[in-house]
Amino acid sequence: MVDWTAERLYLSVFEMNARATANPYQVHRHLWRAFPGRRDAMRPFLFHVTREGRPIRVVMQSTLPPEPVAERDFRLSDRRAFHLNLPEGAVFAFRITANPTRRESATQRRLPLDEDADRVAWLRRQLEPAAELSRVAVREAWRMCFEKGGRPGVVDAVLMTGTLQVRDTAALVKKIAEGVGPAKAFGCGLLLLHPESPARPG
């Protein structure tokens, strides 16, 4: 079992044009090109696609350092190593693109959750007992249409923000390193944190 609290991770930023991101699954395939020779291995990265501004920015967290990439459709613009330092009791602001779903009992298919209250409850369950969430808000919801192997498909994505307090360091570090929920190949599951700013005196 990997002790993620001792592992070095990498946070990278790629810039991609509209053609590279037209099919959401192609973003995943582009990012694999930063890890030559590893296409048959377990995916070593999670990623988040920003939906505003040009060029489109893709934030990637990986267990391996990506190789420099500079091609017509995308390029690596930043890369830095870090360790997850999440002491119990610390409070962080978070941002996540997720694919909240439930299992249909008859078929075991994943079905999207359509109500914001259900989506927030899903995220709370995903992060228990690692963290306690507060001020969670669903900022945006959209449907990603893609083609994989010549077959069309859809992923329902939701952007959520809020704050969390660390309850179990090892459990939260593991969850961040391995990702939250399904559809990771489509840019879901990367939990991005930054320290919560202290309140200013009135």
Q: For residue range 7-39, list pLDDT tens digits in order.
A: 789 999 999 988 888 888 889 888 999 998 876
Q: Which of 25-39, 71-85, 87-101, 104-118 has the highest mean pLDDT?
A: 87-101
Q: What CATH architecture is 91-179+190-195?
A: 2-Layer Sandwich (3.30)
> Does the global pTM surpass 0.85?
yes
Give the model's confidence band at 73: pLDDT under 50 very low, under 70 low, under 90 confident, else very high: confident
| Distance of alpha carbon 64 from alpha carbon 41, whole angstroms | 12
For the chain, the structural domain boundaries read 4-82, 91-179+190-195
Give the model's confidence band at 202: pLDDT under 50 very low, under 70 low, under 90 confident, else very high: very low
CA distances from 47 to 10, 25, 74, 128, 143 (A): 11, 12, 14, 22, 17
- Residue 60 pLDDT > 90: yes
- Rg, Å, the chain Cα set: 17
The CATH class of 4-82 is alpha beta
What average pLDDT is seen over the chain?
A: 89
Q: 4-82 and 91-179+190-195: same fold?
A: yes
